[in-house]
Amino acid sequence: MHQKVNILGVQISSISNDDLLAEFTQHILHKQKKQVCITPVNSVLAALKNEQVKTIYNNADYVLCDGVPLKWAASFLNTPIVERITGLDLLPNLVELSAKNDFSIFLLGASPGVGDKLKQVILNQYPQAKIVGVYVPPFMATFTAAENDKMITAVNAASPDVLLVSLTAPKQDIWIANNKDALNATLMVGIGGAFEVMACLAKRAPKWAQKAGLE
């Protein structure tokens, strides 16, 4: 069990990328349902304002440190976080892990066309990768019951090992938490805007900006 660090009431995971991927592998192999949240500063601030969001983060299995300021804060509190793990870093690592271990992936969310482009990029890199579904729900602040059922049905028809949800945080985290029991998926990850970056539709901030906490 990995350590967690309390930052403004949110329990942030302190774990290395290598250990994280090793734990993910075991969860998938043993069909253990897990929710993974990726939390930049704005997510922690959202949790401060909304008790539901805070509860979701604190009940999630992994709440990854996606913000350099969060890492700074942990060090200031003398409870340092092992490593910053962003959605932009985790997505390609998860794709590689899945391709090598024959784990299936479902892409949910982002703007129309992004998931299909990402699927093609992944298959170009890993022809053996199992992308078992792509679904783009319409943009709405809150999904209707009918649309929610469509999303769940699409995922369950594919029964993926890894469900990647790109609906922005904390919306994606709320959606996963609310539907976790109904979803036939093992590892459920709120991945944020990483779809666009890996699909080469958006550029990542330069290294100096990442290190300076400006990403």
Bridge partners for 4 per DSSP: 13
Tokens of 116: 């299909």
In a domain, 39, yes or no: yes
Q: ω before 92 within 30° of 0 (cis)?
A: no
Amino acid at 39: T
Predicted local distance difference test score (pLDDT) of residue 213:
58
Residue labelled with tokens 């170009």: 124
Cα-based torsion angle of the residue sequence 104, 127, 111, 158 in order, rounded to the nearest 10 degrees: -30
What DSSP letter does each residue of 10-25 carry, written as one string?
EEEEE--HHHHHHHHH
- Asked, for residue 1, whether it belongs to a domain, the answer is no
Number of domains in the chain: 1
Let me know the angle formed at the C-alpha of 208 by 43 and 73, rounded to the nearest 5 degrees.
Answer: 40
Residue 200: what pLDDT? 80
Is residue 157 in a domain?
yes
> Is there a contact between 159 and 17 (Cβ–Cβ < 8 Å)?
no
Q: Report if residue 134 sits inside a domain.
A: yes
Q: What is the pLDDT along the chain (215 residues), one digit of tens a residue?
A: 799 999 999 999 999 999 999 999 999 999 999 999 999 999 999 999 999 999 999 999 999 999 889 999 999 999 999 999 999 999 999 999 999 999 999 999 999 999 999 999 999 999 999 999 999 999 888 999 999 999 999 999 999 999 999 999 999 999 999 999 999 999 999 999 999 999 988 665 566 555 555 56
The per-residue pLDDT for 197 is: 93
Dist CA 185 CA 208 (whole Å) = 37
34 belongs to a structural domain: yes
Which of 22, 3, 5, 51 minimizes the C-alpha distance to 187? 22
In this predicted structure, what is the pLDDT of residue 175?
97
Distance CA 214, CA 156 (A): 38
Best CA proximity match to 113, nearest among 49, 176, 202: 202
CATH no. for residue 161?
Answer: 3.40.50
Q: CB neighbours of 181 closer than 8 A, spacing ≥ 6? A: none
In-domain check, residue 131:
yes
Residue 211 is predicted with a pLDDT of 58
**Residue 23 domain boundaries:** 7-210
Dig out the tokens for 207 from the structure.
């290294």
Q: Is there a domain that residue 2 lies in?
A: no
Q: What is the reported pLDDT for 215?
A: 60
What pTM did the predictor assign?
0.93
Q: Does residue 215 sit within a domain? A: no
* pLDDT for 11: 97
- Residue from 200, 123, 194 nearest 164 by CA: 194
